[in-house]
Amino acid sequence: MAGLEGRIALVTGAGTGMGRSHAEVLAERGADIVVQDIVEDAALETAELVRTAGRRAHVAVCDIADGVALAAVIGEAAALGPIDVLVNNAGIHALTPFEEIAEAEFDRIFAVNVAGTFNAMRAVLPGMKDRRRGAIVNVASTSGQIGTPGDTHYCASKGAVLGLTKAWAKEFAAWSIRVNAVSPGPIATEMTVRNRGWEGIRERAEKEIPLRRYGLPRDVSYAVAYLAGDGAGFVTGQVIPIAGGLAIVGI
Amino acid sequence: MSEGRFAGRVALVTGAGRGMGACHARLLALGGARVVVQGRDGESVEQIATGIRTSGGEALAVAGDVSREEDVARNLDEAEAAFGPVGILVNNAGVASFGGTEAVTEESFDRVFGVNLAGTFLMTRRVVPGMKAARAGKIVNISSRFGQVGAPVSIDYCASKSGVHGLTKAWAKELAPWNICVNCVAPGGVWTEMGLAEHGGAEGIRKIEQSVPLKRWAQPEEMSHAVAFLAGPESDFITGQVLPANGGATMAGI
């Protein structure tokens, strides 16, 4: 599979969990990484991992929901060179029954998951258009495809990410900019382990997941790397679920 | 990073005597797989296998028609005798059809379904026991954009490729307990001999390319990268999925 030697990738929400994993895997394939996160210490740690993999890293600390702040920190990353790959990973989640969702909570989920994705695209698009190349990988969720009870605003926000993916794929194909999405299902991140515990994870895996296990962040990162690379040069507007056999839905 | 990602694996590619199938076989061999090059025409598969061996890979040519159960059995016997059980199966063999509904004969309908659907079924049924025993396996089916969204010509081709999507999803669910992943690549327009014949040469293709969002058709190798991703360890948590590679021509279900 094509590598990412010499490419520069912006990974949002790269300080922890899957975002950190994406940054590491892209760096292993030869990409330099702009590590965006809201938490500076976390971003610095990821940047160190990128450098350990032998690649350059630039830390961009801001709230992704703040488009002006994001544009400013991405502007500072220009020293690294032009951004060829954008991984829209930053996302938040809150399991709240529908009737109990406060307006502020709803707004915050959309501000990060949808407006954050929008802001990052705005920040990198002019350069990609100028160079007539670019690969965007949005991180959706199987929740946005098939729904999850008690997860209204998250499901809706991830459904919106799929909408962005397809609309952008069509709008920017003329500049050879490809836009795709990965759609993680049950992945054992630090957050999952905290929320469910290993016992809970094992139980759900046995009962509900055809492959009878959870995935790991790397399982998602490999799909991100595939879509970011030239091997996927004819793939645009598509969604790859990484879900162990859950979400076997649309074709 | 991916040098040798198929090391120690045996891969069988059907319809590998030319076009995309030959490309899939070459890329898997490049990744270290021992590749069984299966196809109807003995000379073509031998030529592809020889090419792989010349460039340092391991390959065996087997000749047979995937729509014939006895050919499938014989080809798998030959493959297993040479290389051992098949861990990666790429169901690539397919035939096209042209013309409106009234022009489709029962014979041509049966032929299209025999190769595209029954062939995929027969090969997979023969390979599954070995995969179950190993508790590991990767099956990659090849469908078509036309199987997703239809086309105003070749109803039998469209229907057979939709059938491949059905097989992919049902097998993914049935075989997951044995850690066998089943996925599908749905190509759009690809520069192959088949494509050239269908559209009256390069000029015809160049006209159609303008209707594709990326304004081009793919090289066969680009489909092989999708196949290799779904055949390799990096997609171990992906099953039951259809990966369309069509330049944006179709963005269908989610």
Which domains, from first to last, does chain B contain? 10-188+220-244 (3.40.50.720)
User: Is A154 labeled as catalytic in the residue annotation?
Assistant: yes
| Rounded distance between C-alpha atoms, residue B142 and residue B120, angstroms | 9
Task: Tell me what the mean pLDDT of segment A219-247 comes to.
Answer: 97
Q: In what order do the strands lie in the sheet with B180-187?
A: B58-63, B34-39, B10-13, B88-91, B137-142, B180-187, B242-245
Residue A2 has pLDDT above 60, yes or no: no
> A57 is in which domain, residue-wise?
8-242
What is the residue-averaged pLDDT of chain A? Answer: 95
Task: Tell me what the mean pLDDT of segment A116-128 comes to.
Answer: 97
Coil, helix or strand at residue B90: strand
In tens digits, what is the pLDDT along chain B, a chain of 254 residues? Answer: 345 899 999 999 999 999 999 999 999 999 999 999 999 999 999 999 999 999 999 999 999 999 999 999 999 999 999 999 999 999 999 999 888 899 999 999 999 999 999 999 999 999 999 999 999 999 999 999 999 999 988 899 999 999 999 999 999 999 999 999 999 999 999 999 888 988 889 999 999 999 999 999 999 999 999 999 999 999 999 999 999 999 999 998 76
**Residue of A187, A211, A212, A246 to mutate when probing chain B, most B C-beta within 10 A:** A211
Interface contact A234-B222, CB threshold 8 A? yes
Q: For residue A52, name the pLDDT band (cuts at 50, 70, 90).
A: very high
| Rounded distance between C-alpha atoms, residue B30 and residue B58, angstroms | 9
The two three-digit tokens of residue B140, written as one number? 């990659």
Strand partners, A59: A35
Q: Which of B186, B234, B239 faces A244 most closely, judged by CB atoms? A: B239
Within a domain: A251: no
Length of chain B: 254
**B239 to chain A nearest CA, in Å?**
5
Burial class (CB in 10 A: 0-12, 13-18, 19+), A156: middle
Which spans in B176-219 are helix H? Answer: 193-198, 202-209
Sign of the CA dihedral with B229 first, then B233, B235, and B238 last:
positive
Within a domain: A97: yes
Q: How many domains does chain A have?
A: 1
If you search the block for the tokens 């991984």, which residue do you land on? Answer: A87
| Rounded distance between C-alpha atoms, residue B10 and residue B37, angstroms | 11
| Rounded distance between C-alpha atoms, residue A171 and residue A187, angstroms | 31
Within a domain: A152: yes
Q: What angle do CA A152, A145, A248 make, to 5 degrees?
A: 140
| Rounded distance between C-alpha atoms, residue B95 and residue B68, angstroms | 15
Within a domain: A134: yes
End-to-end, the C-alpha distance of chain A in Å comes to 24
What does the pLDDT look like over B155-204, one tens digit per residue? Answer: 999 999 999 999 999 999 999 999 999 999 999 999 998 889 888 899 99
Q: What is the CATH number of the domain that holds A96?
A: 3.40.50.720
If you search the block for the tokens 């912006």, which residue do you land on? Answer: A10
Within a domain: A247: no
Residues 188-217 of B with CB under 8 A from A: 188, 213-215
Within a domain: A169: yes
B151 within 8 A of B158, measured Cβ to Cβ:
yes
Within a domain: A137: yes
The two three-digit tokens of residue B32, written as one number? 């270290």
Within a domain: A250: no
Coil, helix or strand at residue B75: helix
Interface contact B243-A169, CB threshold 8 A? no
| Rounded distance between C-alpha atoms, residue A192 and residue A217, angstroms | 11
